[in-house]
Structure formats: C-alpha cells, structure tokens
Amino acid sequence: MDVTQETVQATPGHDMKAVEGLLREFVKALRAVQLYLPNNPMYENACKQLAKAFHNVWDQTDRIELLVKDSELLWEEVGVYKQESKNDGLAWLLYKDGIRGITFLPGVEETESVAFLNILNQVRTLPPESADDLLTLLWEQEFEFIRHEATELADADGDEFTKEEIDAPDSETVTAEVQRQMAEQPESNDFTTIEDSGASLLALNEEELAYLQREITREYEQDLRTNVLAILLDIFETQRNSSVRIEIAGILEKFMVHLVATGDFGAVLYLLREVATVTTRAQELTWEEKQGLENLSTKLSEPEIFAQVATGLDRNVADVREEEIEKLFSGLKPAVFEPALLALTQMQNEDTKTLLEDALIKMAIAHKDALIGALKSGDPAVLQMAVRFVKTLSTEGSVPHLRRLLRDGDDATRLEVIGALEKFATSEALDAAVVALDDKLRDVRITAARMIGQARHAPALGIIESKIGDDGPLKDADLSEKKAFFEAYGRLAGDSGITRLTPLLHTKGLLKKKVDPQVRACAAMALGEIGTPTAVETLKKVDDDKDPVVRNAVHRALEDSSK
C-alpha cells in the first residue's frame, strides 16, 4: 500500500502532519498484524509506534474524525491518506463494508487500536459468503473509543410501506360517537392497581427477580448443542414420516462431523448413546431409516473423522468418562483399524491409550483381516504397532507378512517382528527367523539365534555352524552375540559338534593357534549345552585353565550339564 499526500491547505489550528503520520503507522501496524504473531518483536514494535503516533495527535486535538471514501481518508475535509489502487488499502477495506466515517478518541491506543487492527485483518480473509463483515464484527466489539458511521441509504433494504388514507366519517358523526362512548361506563383493568393518578409499574418482587436471574443463568449455562440434538432425536421418534426421519438422520450425520471438528465429544457421545436408544425404541423404523442412524458410527470410523476424535479424546478437555470413551471405541468399524493404530502411537494420555488399545485388540480378534491388512501399511509406526498386536494375539496367517517385513522393514520394525516370531515359535516362524541370523541389527541376530537354539530348529544348523569359529563372522561380535550363536550350535549339533568345538577350547601345544578367550568360553558353553559324557570329558580337561573367563565358563558348563 502506498501512501501519498494530497496537496491541500492545512486547516488552521491543527497539525495535519500528525494525522498523516498516524495513518502511516496505522497501515504499517496493519501489515505487521497480518504477517506476524503477537509475540513477534515486529508486531510489538508496530503496535508501540502506533500508540506513539496516537499520542502525537492527542497533543493537537481530542478526536480524530475521518471521512471514508473508496480510496482515501479525509480529516477536516483534507486528504490525509490516499491509496493508489482502488481495491486495495485501508480506505477500501473500510469503505466496501459500508463505513463512511470513523472516529478515534483518546484512550483508543491502550487496547482498542490493536483489537481494531485484528478485526480489519480478520475481515480481509473472510470468504464472500461469510456470516460476518466489518460492521457485524465491530458491533460485537462494543468499542468505547472507536465510533463509526455506516452508510444507510433510504432505499437500501426493503420496500417502503404504503399508507392508506384515513377513511373517517364526517366530523359530526365522529363527535357524536366520541360523546356516546365517553358517556358509557369505563372499563376496568383488573391486573393493575389503578388510581386516577395513574397506574404504576408492576414491580417485580424479590422472588421474581431471583427467578429471572436463575433463568438467565440457566439460559447461558445450558449445553445448547446437546439440547438441539435432543430436539432432533425427539422429532425423529415422534414423526413417522420416512422422508422426515431420513432428513434428520442426514442432519445428525453432518452435525456430528461438526461436533467432532469443534471437539465437543461430550455431545458426540450423547448422540451415539441416544441413537442406540432410538434404534430400539422408535416405532416402525424402516431399513433405510435404521441405516441412516447407523451411518453415524460408520462416519466416526472414517479416517479423517476418527483422527480428530482420537486427538480430542487424548486431550480430553471435555472430561468425557472412561466408560463413554470405551463405548465410543467399541462402536468403531474395521475400516478405521489402521488410522486407529496410528492414533494409538501418537496418544499421550495413558488412560485413553489403554482404552483404545483394548478396543482395537477386540477388533483385531473379531476382524483378523483388518490386522493383517495393517501389516501392509506404508507407515512404519503403524507397522510396528500392528506387529505388536500380532505378537499379543498370535494372529494366524501373519507369519508370511512378518517374514516379508524381516526382509523389507526398517530397523524398529524388524526388531518388533523378530520378537513376534519368537513368541510364535512355530516351525514357520522359525523358518522365517533364519533370515534374521544375518540381520544388520545385533539384537535381531541375537534373538533369532536364541529362538532357533531354544527350539533346536535343525534346518538352521548349517548357517549357525558357518558363523562359529575363531575368525568367523562372529569375530567382531560381542560376548552376548557369540554366546547366543555358540549355545544355539551346541543345541542343534549335539555330539557331532564336539569335533568343531574342541579345537576352539583346547589351545595347549606350541603349534596350537591362540584362540580368543571369549571364543573359548563360548565353546565351553556350547559343550555344556551338548552335555554328553564326551562333551563333559572335553570340558574337564580344561577345568583348571589359566584364563579366568574360560575357567568360569567351563565350570558353569559342567554345572549345567550335570543338572
């Protein structure tokens, strides 16, 4: 917005420059309000400068009355602000909604000027069909130091009323009629205390005043939305006309979406509760009418809608009771399973989280396909949660998907998957876990080795055997990993493994290669797992080994083998 100055004569006694300066600061402040948040230094500074500019003007005058034209503002008939483009600028912003005059009074700079700026900014972004404009918003503000005049053209709205002429009788007839009526007995008004001096106001007594106050409080404390829902449901129940019921069902659906968007979950839950009642109580419901009501639960299960519900209940500002949340979740449809899993991963409120989890577990049990479907999600968070569910429920038919995830999933997912496979411990799961022996994650490898060893899954022997050795793939592994693999080998190989393990344990002799004590210890543990007399003999030969790690391992192995 450019501000240019009209070349006019200043009115004697006033400083036009101060007003021009004020409007320049006003425009800057309006821009700042548009671009920045209130806590931004630019915003704060612009507001301060505006207040200062107002103070400069108050040194000269005690009111600023501006005439608003479509592209300029006039003060005492002098142009003090002009915008170059007709349809953009402060003047047009005021003019287009009907403002023709605006007055600022001292005190405006305290708080009202900033509030005014915010309203102007709000008006800028209102859609054409908005219920508000500058005039309606200003009306609601009740500014004390800002007054405005809006255009009121005589023919602007509505038709003039037409008056008819008075069709009175002639004056003699009128006079006679008046005399006749005056002579008749006057009527009494028995609801007032009448004296010739005039009936006085019917004063409200204390009780009536208190009653009114209670009623005003009740009016403004009522839950309007729930009240309106009750009305709609009443109409649904009492009117048997199908088109009316279907119309109401449609209204309830849209209304519910609005309630979710505004976070009024108390009302949403009220609605669902009452709909359940209506479905059983309302007479002669047709299939279509029933469907209309059931659509409400279906609507809640739409991903976008449910996401809002979950977020809202997580914050639970409405303080909805647990049993109501439980009811809401229990009404969800399988289509919402994946979005609900995602919501679960994001929830902060532990109580609500538990309720949702319980509901989803029940859903997963009843609708296995929904859980299996979630194992194909592209969202890692959803995948991991789904895998946890699979682990908890040991869901049939999930192993092939878990195998795929072991191959393709991210680190966190693979970790979850191997945990799930470990719990399954079926041969299918063990087959799937073999892949994990080569996983890049240590923990995955360890879990895989342990579960294979525990299960004595023979098909994995070859792979495990290839890993053990002094300078094999486990060379750089830590003790825990080495132990897991060696123990697994011991369980899988049996006596035939002694030949491989003995050279790793017995290193005496000049030509014998020095073996890492950890490897020797692990070899001892493996022999302990084998536990045959030959294995025990092999262990006893080194039960006094100089290396304490080896010696401890041998002793433990001998103990375990004797159990």
Partner 1 sequence: MTSPSREGLTEAVDQIEGVYRSEGKKFLIAFGSALRTRKLYPLENEQVQKSFDELAATARTLHQVDPTLEMQISEEFVYINKTRLRLGLEQYSALGHVMETFKNAGAGIIAVDEAVSREEWQELMSVLVEVKPHEDPHDYLEELLDALERLGVTHISLARAAESDQELDAEERAREVARRTYRQGVAVTQDVVNSVRMGRTANVRRMKRAVQGVVDQVLNNELSLVGLTAIRDYDEYTFTHSVNVCIFSVALGKRLRLGKRQLYDLGIAALLHDVGKSRVPIEMITKSGALTDEEWHVMQSHPWFGVLAMFQIHKEGDVPYRGIVAAYEHHMKVDVTGYPRPVRRRTPSLFSKIVAVADGFDAATTRRSYQNPIQPDDVLREMYTNRRRGFDPVIVKELVNLVGMYPVGTCVILDTREVAIVQGRLPEHDSLNRPVVRIVIDAEGKVVTPHPSADLNEKTPAGRFRRSIVRVADPAVFGIKPGDVLM
Kindly identify the residues of this chain, within the stretch 133-152, that bind partner 1 according to CB under 8 A. Answer: 133, 135-136, 139-140, 142, 152
Q: How many CA atoms lie within 13 A of 510 on its CB side?
A: 0
Dig out the tokens for 95 from the structure: 């003019």
Min CB(356)–partner 1 separation in Å: 27
Min CB(108)–partner 1 separation in Å: 20
CA 76/CA 65 separation, integer angstroms: 8
3-state secondary structure 328-368: HHHCCCHHHHHHHHHHHHHCCCHHHHHHHHHHHHHHHHHCH
CA 319/CA 341 separation, integer angstroms: 23
Residues of this chain, 389-418, that bind partner 1 according to CB under 8 A: none
The four Cα atoms 456, 460, 462, 466 give a dihedral, to 10 degrees, of: -100
Residues of this chain, 351-380, that bind partner 1 according to CB under 8 A: none
**Residues in contact with partner 1, total (CB under 8 A)?**
84
103 touches 148 (CB < 8 A) = yes
CA 390/CA 372 separation, integer angstroms: 8
Residues of this chain, 288-317, that bind partner 1 according to CB under 8 A: none
Q: What is the DSSP string of 410-472?
A: -HHHHHHHHHHHHHH--HHHHHHHHGGGG-SSHHHHHHHHHHHHHHT-GGGHHHHHHH-STTS
380 touches 407 (CB < 8 A) = no
The neighbour count for residue 308, using CB atoms within 10 Å, is 19
Computed on alpha carbons and rounded to an integer, the radius of gyration of the chain in Å comes to 43
In the list 96, 258, 540, 541, the residue contacting partner 1 (rule: CB under 8 A) is: 258
Residues with Cβ < 8 Å from 131, sequence gap 6 or more? none
CA 276/CA 282 separation, integer angstroms: 10
In the list 62, 155, 284, 476, the residue contacting partner 1 (rule: CB under 8 A) is: 155
Q: Which is nearer to partner 1, 217 or 480 (CB)?
A: 217
CA 341/CA 385 separation, integer angstroms: 7
Q: Which is nearer to partner 1, 133 or 294 (CB)?
A: 133
249 touches 236 (CB < 8 A) = yes
Min CB(233)–partner 1 separation in Å: 7
Point out which span in 49-57, 204-212, 362-370, 496-504 binds partner 1 (CB under 8 A): 204-212
Point out which span in 218-226, 476-484, 487-495, 524-532 binds partner 1 (CB under 8 A): 218-226
Q: Which is nearer to partner 1, 247 or 516 (CB)?
A: 247
CA 151/CA 156 separation, integer angstroms: 9
Min CB(258)–partner 1 separation in Å: 4
Q: Which is nearer to partner 1, 145 or 424 (CB)?
A: 145
Residues of this chain, 52-81, that bind partner 1 according to CB under 8 A: 77
Please name which of 451, 394, 382, 458 lies closest in space to residue 420, comparing C-alpha atoms: 394
Q: Which is nearer to partner 1, 54 or 270 (CB)?
A: 270
* 171 touches partner 1 by CB under 8 A: yes
Min CB(208)–partner 1 separation in Å: 5
Residues of this chain, 488-547, that bind partner 1 according to CB under 8 A: none
Min CB(122)–partner 1 separation in Å: 14
* 228 touches partner 1 by CB under 8 A: yes
Q: Which is nearer to partner 1, 159 or 544 (CB)?
A: 159
Collapsing DSSP to helix, strand or coil, 377 comes out as coil
In the list 194, 317, 458, 479, the residue contacting partner 1 (rule: CB under 8 A) is: 194
Please name which of 102, 143, 137, 108 lies closest in space to residue 123, comparing C-alpha atoms: 137
CA 264/CA 167 separation, integer angstroms: 60
The amino acid sitting at 258 is H
Secondary structure element (H or E) that encloses residue 149, with its range: strand 146-150
Residues in the chain: 563
Point out which span in 83-91, 192-200, 395-403, 475-483 binds partner 1 (CB under 8 A): 192-200
Point out which span in 20-28, 180-188, 331-339, 397-405 binds partner 1 (CB under 8 A): 180-188
CA 248/CA 245 separation, integer angstroms: 5
Q: Which is nearer to partner 1, 163 or 563 (CB)?
A: 163
CA 209/CA 495 separation, integer angstroms: 100
Task: Give the single-character DSSP code of 542.
Answer: T
Min CB(155)–partner 1 separation in Å: 5
State the pairing for strand pair 99-104/72-75: unpaired
Collapsing DSSP to helix, strand or coil, 510 comes out as coil
* 206 touches partner 1 by CB under 8 A: no
Q: Which is nearer to partner 1, 235 or 536 (CB)?
A: 235
Binding mask 93-132 for partner 1 (x = CB under 8 A): ------------------------------------xxxx
Min CB(289)–partner 1 separation in Å: 15
Point out which span in 117-125, 166-174, 284-292, 408-416 binds partner 1 (CB under 8 A): 166-174
Min CB(172)–partner 1 separation in Å: 7
* 198 touches partner 1 by CB under 8 A: yes
* 276 touches partner 1 by CB under 8 A: no
Residues linked to residue 149 through DSSP beta bridges, in sequence order? 101
Q: Which is nearer to partner 1, 2 or 129 (CB)?
A: 129
Min CB(480)–partner 1 separation in Å: 60
Q: Which is nearer to partner 1, 10 or 224 (CB)?
A: 224
In the list 186, 378, 509, 533, the residue contacting partner 1 (rule: CB under 8 A) is: 186
CA 380/CA 412 separation, integer angstroms: 8
Q: Which is nearer to partner 1, 7 or 179 (CB)?
A: 179
Task: Give the single-character DSSP code of 487.
Answer: H
* 175 touches partner 1 by CB under 8 A: yes
Point out which span in 251-259, 310-318, 433-441, 520-528 binds partner 1 (CB under 8 A): 251-259
In the list 26, 58, 143, 255, the residue contacting partner 1 (rule: CB under 8 A) is: 255
* 221 touches partner 1 by CB under 8 A: no
